[in-house]
């Protein structure tokens, strides 16, 4: 798991069936790298979130058939990044 910040949402009108209608978010990790994650929890821009990656990311979704390797597992209510 890794803590990341939500930069915004990503809208894709054409996608593979394996993604279904999942919300997508643009995240930034602690090194400044931007990544795209499936968002089953409704995170918003500016939220700090924790993520599951690799094969575990599929099981963080309500449907483990979703084709993802990065999923937001939860929104962090309080965290002091310093």
pLDDT single digits (tens) 2-48:
999 999 999 988 888 877 788 999 999 999 999 999 999 999 999 99
3-class state of residue 74 by DSSP: strand
Predicted local distance difference test score (pLDDT) of residue 66:
84
This prediction has a pTM of 0.89
Say if residue 26 is exposed, middle or buried (CB neighbours under 10 Å; 0-12, 13-18, 19+): middle
> Would you state the structure tokens that stand for residue 34, as one six-digit string?
């931007």
> Would you state the structure tokens that stand for residue 14, as one six-digit string?
């054409």
Using CA atoms, how far apart are residues 59 and 41, in angstroms rounded to an integer?
Answer: 13
Using CA atoms, how far apart are residues 53 and 7, in angstroms rounded to an integer?
Answer: 18
Query: What's the CATH fold of domain 2-75?
Result: OB fold (Dihydrolipoamide Acetyltransferase, E2P) (2.40.50)
Predicted local distance difference test score (pLDDT) of residue 65:
82
């Amino acid at each position: 798991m890794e803590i990341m910040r939500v930069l915004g949402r990503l809208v894709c009108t054409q996608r593979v069936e394996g993604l279904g209608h999942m919300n997508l978010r643009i995240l930034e990790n602690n090194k400044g790298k931007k990544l795209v994650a499936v968002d089953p929890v409704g995170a918003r821009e500016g939220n700090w979130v924790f993520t599951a990656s690799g094969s575990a990311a599929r099981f963080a979704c309500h449907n483990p058939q979703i084709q993802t390797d990065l999923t937001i597992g939860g929104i962090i209510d309080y965290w002091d990044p310093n």
